[in-house]
Amino acid sequence: MKTLLTETDLKKGISKMAAQIEEAYAGRQLTIVGILTGSIVLMADLIRLIELPTRVGVIEASSYRGATTERGELTINSELLIDIEGRDVLLVDDIFDTGHTITRVIQKLEELGPTSVKSAVLLHKRERQEVEYTPDYAAFHIPNEFVVGYGLDYEDMYRNLPFLAVLEDSDLKKHADLVGQKSQA
């Protein structure tokens, strides 16, 4: 794997973004809603860094299934979501790629009557953007590469890496071999 952002890089970028968020919401209560599952690592770090009265919730949204890097039909499940009516909401996601997921989730959240909805992402891939929306906060802008680590996955693997890496062809082959061994067991 080729390292794109080190653990130190990630900590610096997230700390800077957390300070911007804290300044913007100074003196107010904030409800942070993470999009499962990719945002959990970022959300955990943000809620420890933002020194404001904070509520935390999650929403499930997915458009990728199995061994694919191509977007499929988006499904949104808000059953796990806490009440956001009349609240300032910060939607947290791991990556802003085409933008379809976050804009659809924002639409869903707005139906629930919050005072405001803003977004924070770890990564913004400007080259892939297909919607007229820009995240309110982005820790990093990255090139159009398939990345894993720090919550981002490939076939539900690699989320636990403390750095951000680009999966190369040799990594995909090793991964396929491991999956093949699992199915033979």
Instruction: Read off the pLDDT of residues 8-17 as tens digits, 9 standing for 90 and up.
Output: 999 999 999 9
Please give the share of the chain, as a percent, with pLDDT higher than 70. Answer: 91
Number of domain units in the chain: 1
Mapped onto helix, strand or coil, the DSSP state of residue 170 is helix
* 109 has a pLDDT exceeding 90: yes
Using DSSP, state whether 70 is helix, strand or coil. coil
Give percent of the chain above pLDDT 90: 77
The answer to whether 6 and 147 have CB atoms below 8 angstroms apart is: no
Identify whether the C-beta of residue 124 lies closer than 8 Å to the C-beta of residue 96: yes
SS3 34: strand
CATH number of the structural domain spanning residue 20: 3.40.50.2020
**Could you tell me the pTM of the whole model?**
0.88
Query: Residues with catalytic annotation?
Result: 97
Q: Whole domain around residue 152: which residue ranges?
A: 2-184
Confidence band for 91, pLDDT divided at 50, 70 and 90: very high
Averaged pLDDT of the chain: 90
